Structures are given as structure tokens and as C-alpha cells.
């Protein structure tokens, strides 16, 4: 019997996790029948935040400490797996974080204790790519602003004027900064729109790119693109990469879309570029602070399209997260190397 703590929430729910785990374990490690205990986290009804030494977590450290005991496996998306939780779980051998990056897990402390940590990369790639494309289309055609005029009882035929018209993706140049699982999907969709696609990613070789996708440096991408869409990870090297100089290097009348991480962009500089007319518009799902303050200037801009960090929010993402997490647990219980392992050195 394997003692597994399911710390699901209102998105990746405990019932989804339990169903996928039962099926996966029965198929690959039938002798390791799971014994579940559960903790329901309040996210997303209650926002996440920093908890002790980890980030983007639900504040349930005390509850985890109380339940950890003889737990061997923790499966969660938002629970704070801190040094204190680990100290309360001497039998713990595996933590599965059902998200792309285990920022809510103290990976170093897990490694010191010989606890494996897995994540589920790619779980939201489809959702995030489709949302990025939605933001691009909504931004270049100013859909929310135009919708607002109709909803207000106006019939703005003057929006057909040349200076008010938006942009077609067909024949336009779209630059993708970052070419991971999400960027690749966005590129394929843009090619279907007959867009010219540029990619800037120092970790991707030209041989990996399909026909119609051209590798370039960031400076060239900014100067050539009608739309720049960000898909890079936030690292010390990429933090603030789209600063005032980068925005000034973009083509006059172009658009910036960010559905990756808020820390990639200097939003004060972006506000200035929009107010001065250098950029035609911007769309983003991520912010410098989440949620933004009520007096944040970009909230009042009619040339900005915003969504509240929901790019990955589809039911399929939740199901895929549960499936990938279950596969990691099942492989571990079967004595195999689990997929998504982020601290392989623990295996020796």
C-alpha cells in the first residue's frame, strides 16, 4: 500500500487526480495499490502567493504539516512543499507538482532529503498557445474596444477609416521570443494564417525550425516584426528584456503581446511607448504585480487587451495535469525513472 497525499484545488481537483492515479497505478504497478488522503486547497478562489521560502502557493503549510506524517508521495499543483513540511514527512519519497515549474516546492531541500521532485511540462501548452493567438488577434483588431462601442449602443462606422483599421496576420511578420512547447504551437498556427514567422531563442537550432519559420537575433526580430509575442521563461537573463530600448527598437505601429511572464517586460516603458504612439497596441495575460493596483495606468488604456493570467485555464489542461502527474507516480511505484524529474541527481 502506497500512502499518497492529494493536495488538489478547484482547478486540478482531487477527484481528477485520484481517478487518473488509480488507472495509471493499476496499469503499471498493480501491487502498489494507493491509499489516498486528501487536502483541498482554496486556489483559485483564493489567490496564491509566497509561503515561507517558496512562491506561487496556497497558504496551507500548517495543514500540510498536520497531514504529512507517514505520507510517501505528495501530488499537488499549489501546495507549499517547504522545508518545514519536509521535516514533518520523514517517509516522503516523491513530490509531483502538476505544473510546468515547481516554484511552490523547495527543490533543494527535497534533494538534500533524497526526495524526488517531478513536474508536468507541457500540460498547458495547447491552452496557452491558443490563448496567445487569441490575444494577438484581439489586440491587432482591437476587439474589446470595438465590442465596447456596440455594447454602449454605438454604431461606429467611422472605425472603417484607414487610420482606425487593424492588421491582418496573413502577410504580416510575427516575431516569437522563445520557442518552447508553447512557442512551437503558436508558430504552427501563425503559419496557417500565412504569417511570416521569426523566432529568437538561443537554445533552438535552425534545423529544428519548420519551413516558414526563420531564426533571428532579438534585435532583428524587434525591428522586423509587426507583432512581437513573448514565450520565454523568466530567468535572471530574460528579466526585463523588453525594456525601453527594446520597445524603441520595435517597428512604429507594431504590437506587443505577453502571455509568458510579467517580469519579461518593463511595463512603465510600455505605457510610455503606447501613450507616445510608437506602439499601436498591446495584449497581455501577465502583469508586473498580480493583481495590478487599481491606479495602474495601463488599466485605463483603450489600446490594451488584458486577461487575468488565464492562458492555461482549460478543462483539458486540468485533465492533462492529472494524467501527467499520475504517470510520474505510477512510474516511480513501478521502480522506473519518473517523467518530468527535476532533480535527477537524487537517483545517484
> Which cell is 258 given?
505577453
* Average model confidence (pLDDT) across the chain: 96
On whether both 132 and 258 belong to a single domain, the answer is yes
Where would I find the H helices in the chain? 14-28, 61-68, 83-87, 107-112, 125-140, 143-151, 181-192, 218-224, 244-249, 267-275, 315-333
Q: Residues 157, 264: one domain?
A: yes
Active-site choice (13, 185, 261, 320): 261
Q: Within this chain, do residues 147 and 177 fall inside the same structural domain, yes or no?
A: yes
Catalytic residue among 231, 309, 320, 323: 309
Same domain, 119 and 129: no
Position 30 scores a pLDDT of 81
pLDDT of residue 31: 77
Residues in the chain: 348
Together in a domain, 74 and 215? no
213 and 340 in a single domain? The answer is no
pLDDT of amino acid 348: 83
* Residue 191 CB-half CA count within 13 A: 14
Q: Is 261 in the active site?
A: yes
Position 212 confidence tier, pLDDT thresholds 50, 70, 90: very high
- What would the mean pLDDT of 136-149 be, rounded to a whole number? 96
pTM of the model: 0.91
128-142 pLDDT, tens digit per residue, is 999 999 999 999 999
Query: How many independent structural domains does the chain possess?
Result: 2
Are residue 132 and residue 82 in the same domain, yes or no? Answer: no
Angle among Cα 78, 181, 109 to the nearest 5 degrees reads 35
Percent of the chain with pLDDT over 70: 100
Q: Does 178 share its domain with 219?
A: yes
Same domain, 51 and 37: yes
Q: Examine the pLDDT at 249 and tell me if it is beyond 70.
A: yes
185 is catalytic: no
Kindly state whether residues 255 and 325 are assigned to the same domain: no
User: pLDDT value at position 1?
Assistant: 62
> What is residue 145's predicted lDDT score, i.e. its pLDDT?
94
In 3D space, the residue among 328, 287, 325, 326 whose CA is nearest the CA of residue 308 turns out to be 287
Q: Which domain holds residue 219?
A: 125-306
Q: Where are the alpha helices (DSSP H) in 169-283?
A: 181-192, 218-224, 244-249, 267-275
Q: Please check whether residues 44 and 100 belong to one and the same domain.
A: yes
Of the residues 156, 290, 315, 337, only one is catalytic, namely 290
Same domain, 189 and 336: no
User: Residue 23 sits in a domain of what CATH number?
Assistant: 3.40.50.720
Q: What is the pLDDT of residues 40-83, one digit of tens each?
A: 999 999 999 999 999 999 999 999 999 999 999 999 999 999 99
Q: Which residues contact 327 (CB under 8 A, 6 or more apart)?
A: 24, 338, 339
290 assigned to active site? yes
Amino acid at each position: 500500500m502506497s500512502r499518497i497525499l492529494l493536495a488538489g484545488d478547484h482547478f486540478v481537483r482531487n477527484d481528477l487526480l485520484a481517478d487518473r492515479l488509480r488507472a495509471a497505478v493499476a496499469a503499471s504497478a498493480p501491487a502498489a495499490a494507493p491509499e489516498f488522503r486528501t487536502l483541498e486547497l482554496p486556489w483559485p478562489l483564493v489567490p496564491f502567493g509566497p509561503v515561507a521560502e517558496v512562491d506561487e502557493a496556497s497558504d496551507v503549510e500548517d495543514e500540510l504539516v498536520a497531514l504529512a506524517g507517514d505520507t510517501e508521495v505528495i501530488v499537488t499543483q499549489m501546495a507549499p512543499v517547504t522545508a518545514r513540511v519536509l521535516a514533518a514527512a520523514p517517509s516522503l519519497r516523491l513530490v509531483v507538482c502538476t505544473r510546468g515549474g515547481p516554484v511552490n516546492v523547495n527543490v533543494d531541500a527535497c534533494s538534500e532529503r533524497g526526495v524526488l521532485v517531478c513536474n508536468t511540462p507541457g500540460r498547458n501548452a495547447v491552452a496557452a498557445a491558443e490563448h496567445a493567438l487569441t490575444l494577438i488577434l484581439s489586440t491587432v483588431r482591437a476587439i474589446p474596444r470595438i465590442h465596447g462601442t456596440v455594447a454602449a449602443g454605438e454604431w461606429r462606422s467611422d472605425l472603417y477609416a484607414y487610420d482606425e483599421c487593424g492588421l491582418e496576420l496573413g502577410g504580416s511578420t510575427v516575431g516569437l521570443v522563445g520557442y518552447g512547447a508553447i512557442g512551437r504551437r503558436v508558430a504552427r498556427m501563425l503559419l496557417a494564417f500565412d504569417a511570416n514567422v521569426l523566432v529568437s531563442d538561443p537554445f533552438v537550432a535552425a534545423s529544428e525550425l519548420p519551413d516558414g519559420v526563420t531564426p533571428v537575433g532579438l534585435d532583428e526580430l524587434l525591428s522586423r516584426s509587426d507583432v512581437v509575442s513573448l514565450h520565454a521563461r523568466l530567468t535572471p537573463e530574460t528579466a526585463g528584456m523588453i525594456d525601453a530600448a527594446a520597445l524603441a527598437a520595435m517597428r512604429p505601429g507594431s504590437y506587443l503581446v505577453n502571455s509568458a511572464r510579467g517580469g519579461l517586460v518593463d511595463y512603465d516603458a510600455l505605457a510610455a511607448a503606447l501613450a507616445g504612439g510608437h506602439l499601436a497596441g498591446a495584449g497581455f495575460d501577465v502583469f508586473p504585480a498580480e493583481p495590478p493596483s487599481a491606479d495602474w495606468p495601463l488599466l485605463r488604456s483603450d489600446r490594451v487587451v488584458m486577461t487575468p493570467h488565464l492562458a492555461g485555464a482549460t478543462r483539458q489542461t486540468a485533465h492533462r495535469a492529472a494524467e501527467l502527474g499520475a504517470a510520474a507516480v505510477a512510474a516511480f511505484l513501478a521502480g522506473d525513472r519518473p517523467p518530468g524529474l527535476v532533480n535527477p541527481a537524487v537517483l545517484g
